[in-house]
A and B are shown apart, each in its own frame.
Chain A
């Protein structure tokens, strides 16, 4: 897009012409010469030989350029201001630069030559130089370095001779343009490599020319057509979809693929292994990586904007000739960073622009007006490129995977990797985030089904736990398990306050961690209640679905009421939503049918109705509806009513699972849980301890027996406090249950009888120290106290004793029943 103005500047013309020269002659030479006249003469001589020449006047500038760009040869004046040429030569060699260095000096003593050659220079030319001699010496040096470059390149029937610049296919000459030739040579010299448009641009076009990817495609097309005209297959240069171009591997090439130089071999192994590694990376991993990369980009786009801003400021200062060296330096640094990073974020044109800017800023001052104009245009293009990308959301939708996703937020990578490796065996997949930022990115990208969080992920616990709050705000909320090395009460309280419910110790065996994750996942799964909606209006069904699904509800819609029964049986919803007016069968009838079937008589039913007159409402409730919502639907109202209804169901179920007095599990619930623990212990060869705790002297403790334990009785108070102490003393993953009226049973996975006995002793000590007089049992005798208080007064807590026993799986039994009996007969 600058080609019209290219002709204005000698500088760019020289580069453009050089770029049109054939690639194999397209050598880059850096001239380090402080005398302007000599420098110009050198440039003229070298440009005449089709070399690309850069000139700088100081060793420092030369050093900067050699660090940033590759040169094929350096022509170095010995006498330079500050650091002289000999010392730069030494510096280059000590840093391992191997390009030929040709020294240029006015002196002509053999001692000087020796110093120069000792410093690592390859040859020596004395000023005033003879242009032909200089050119010959340069050719000789370059040839020495090129060696292999001169041999004929072959690819099947295709041959390219770099010496004569001839290309033949089956011995028939192919006439190519300079660019097509260079393109073909590039492919032949890197025969296994896939070149992207960007890489081709970088290799074949010189700094200063600004072709587009389109130009590359045009040249590829031209090259293909010319080869095809000589009988070559049309896809000799094949398109690798989404990546670029490469030579197509024919049968012949497979057979004779023995690279002839180590370098080539290295390049080939490197590239083929990249191809392999790309193939190794699964599609979801690729997508996820790219999505995360774009997350990083969005988080840092301001920073990138600032960097471009520095370039803008520097260039406008340059225009006003007010650019100080500090800003210049900073601009070079920012351009370098952008050049080296934008491509990673998919902005390869941005990288290219930044590289040109960097290179121009690195050339010795003063810059010509044209160069400044180019800089300005490049920076503005760079700004556009960066801005454009920030408005496009490049985030890809993650691939749907039916397996639940566990996000491990933990710095302990080996542990995380173990979990990741084990997860598939448990039916879920796992990912790791090593810090909170990454965790938030990942959650945003693809909400996990469960999070395992180590609060040590960030310096303060409070900061780590902000993630819990975030997870709770998700719709639906994402359950989290706290995974920690510490087990301090203060930490637990803090976590509980912030909404964390489940704790896991890092010391637990891996299998138990996974089992717990599985359990929580399963619970969350159950919480995903099914809702069935019947309405003959598909639009309304779509609305209801879109309103309810974000809340984690599983929605089944049905537009034809005639399929009602089959659908109901097949989906077993937890809640039914019915439209009143439907063809064939109306909602009222459906409701009655449901209520008349004993299996469904307690299914909550909610009506959608356009009529809210008293008659309709009465009729709705009389056939057994639980609630109704009027049409047109108001989103929040529907959601609230449904969620409330489901909460209520959950609450009722919970009630059956939790003993209302002691708040520990009911026997029924505990029996299921203990069975689960027992299966787990069997599967993983782990011990399991079952404790039985009885309140022995219970009946004698009161002045009269409390056969019916009312909630206000002192005996109940003892039970309530015991329950509370038990809940405090055991982990949420342990099973604590009120087994019978005066008996508790506790199951603990992964500990043996010895540990268990110690824990039980500690528990008994704690119980003995517990003051059961707190609320129900005042010490003073009060004549006018109420019944419960009187009962309490007479309760002699010193006579209250506990009996306790422990049994271990597998030693003492392998079923709940046998373990329970063993524990009961092994009372402490």
Chain B
């Protein structure tokens, strides 16, 4: 049994940590952390996580720009990306899917539901 590895990208440390706690404790996945879009690109290429959970609103390079860069790089193109965003309406969901994003999860997320939402989006099962 190999643990799923998921890269959490957010510039705010407590959001990183709370997401990490939720994914680790509920799902038992290994969580990697990046604090910026730039760090995300680097880690995604080096670590090849199974998925990326990406905050939209970040200084310097926002989530959408980061996602586009990930798509441009053949080494990271295939990694599924889930957006963490303040608002999701059906129109957003459609446009996200069209852009190639796997899913979008609304912030603030429910700590008990986050792992389930990620799993559902990726077609994974919660193993615990």
Contacts and interface: CB of A to CB of B under 8 A. Distances in A.
B45 interface: no
A269 interface: yes
B112 interface: yes
A290 interface: yes
Contact of A303 (B13, B90, B98): B13
Given A281-B112, A290-B111, A293-B111, A432 B14 contact: no
B25 A292 contact: yes
Nearest to A262: B94
A281 B119 CA distance: 13
B120 A296 contact: no
Given A277-B120, A277-B126, A351-B108, A420 B28 contact: yes
A270 B59 CA distance: 30
Interface in B1-16: 1-3, 5, 12-15
Contacts of B39: none
A336 B96 contact: no
B64 interface: yes
Interface string A42-67: 00000000000000000000000001
A654 interface: no
A775 to B, nearest CB: 53
A97 B115 contact: no
Given A67-B56, A292-B25, A421-B1, A98 B91 contact: yes
A333 to B, nearest CB: 7
Interface string B63-99: 0100000000000000000001011111111111011
B51 interface: no
Given A293-B111, A304-B14, A418 B89 contact: no
Contacts of A289: 21-22, 25-26, 111-112
A413 B57 contact: no
Nearest to B92: A70
Contact of A341 (B20, B108, B116, B117): B108
B57 A70 contact: no
A281 B26 contact: yes
Nearest to B90: A263
A308 to B, nearest CB: 13
B53 to A, nearest CB: 13
Contacts of B55: 340
Interface residues of A, number: 60
B: interface residue count bin: 35 or more
A413 B30 contact: yes
Contact of A68 (B20, B86, B98): B86
Nearest to A281: B26
A277 B113 contact: yes
B47 interface: no
Contacts of A70: 87-89, 91-92
A413 B5 contact: yes
Contact of A98 (B30, B62, B95, B111): B95
Contacts of A250: none
Interface string A74-104: 0000000000000000000001111100000
Given A98-B94, A337-B12, 8 more contacts: A70-B87, A70-B91, A263-B90, A277-B119, A285-B25, A297-B18, A342-B108, A344-B107
Interface of B: 1-3, 5, 12-15, 17-18, 20-22, 24-26, 28-31, 55-57, 59, 62, 64, 84, 86-96, 98-99, 107-113, 115-117, 119-120, 126, 128
25 contacts: A68-B86, A68-B87, A95-B99, A98-B94, A99-B91, A263-B90, A270-B117, A273-B116, A277-B113, A281-B26, A289-B26, A304-B14, A340-B15, A341-B12, A344-B15, A344-B107, A344-B108, A344-B111, A413-B30, A414-B1, A414-B3, A417-B28, A418-B1, A421-B1, A434-B20
